[in-house]
Chains A and B, each alone.
Chain A
């Protein structure tokens, strides 16, 4: 049973380009969460999705960031017109339908904006 799969592991983008980060949850998990981690910081919640629905996006910046979790395929975190401040590690996590047991995290995508 594969864990949470994120790709790419490393992504380099020039300022103004778009970044697309993909996350495939664990088999049987229908809840997906995205977190951002800046260097020397903890993980900051961004968005919580279930299939085809955004449940909580209170941690998402109001502009340039969007997330989706379609009926088929991975969850996508999209960052448009990236700026240097978007450089960070982005982690995806998943959980079963209802869980109070924490999440399982992927290995992250490290975005560098040059």
Chain B
């Protein structure tokens, strides 16, 4: 079946640091999505990418749709405590979305 490889699995950073995570796939997707999940909640859409090479920002978040359409990255600049959570990449083709296993972001006190 289709798989998305998301890395790193977890990150421990200091507040104020920049964060980078990425996702690769063996399949091409029409849309790449990045979601964030807080404990006990459902995933919330952060950024959607629709075209190969597209670079999109949402506040301190920046994401890119890879040229090959098989990869994407998410950057978070100047991390703050509320950035803690699990970040999922997801690829969408037609009406189905496939999720990566997530990157768990921890911010050290």
Contacts and interface: CB of A to CB of B under 8 A. Distances in A.
Interface string A74-114: 00000000000000000101010001111111111000000
B44 interface: yes
A102 B90 contact: yes
B97 A100 contact: no
B75 interface: no
Contacts of A106: 42
Nearest to B89: A42
B47 to A, nearest CB: 9
Interface residues of A, number: 25
B33 to A, nearest CB: 5
B96 A100 contact: no
Interface in A21-71: 31, 33, 35, 41-45, 48, 55-56
B92 A42 contact: no
25 contacts: A35-B99, A42-B4, A42-B6, A42-B99, A42-B100, A42-B101, A43-B88, A43-B99, A44-B99, A45-B98, A48-B95, A48-B96, A55-B95, A56-B95, A56-B96, A91-B43, A99-B95, A101-B31, A101-B48, A102-B31, A102-B90, A103-B97, A104-B45, A105-B43, A107-B41
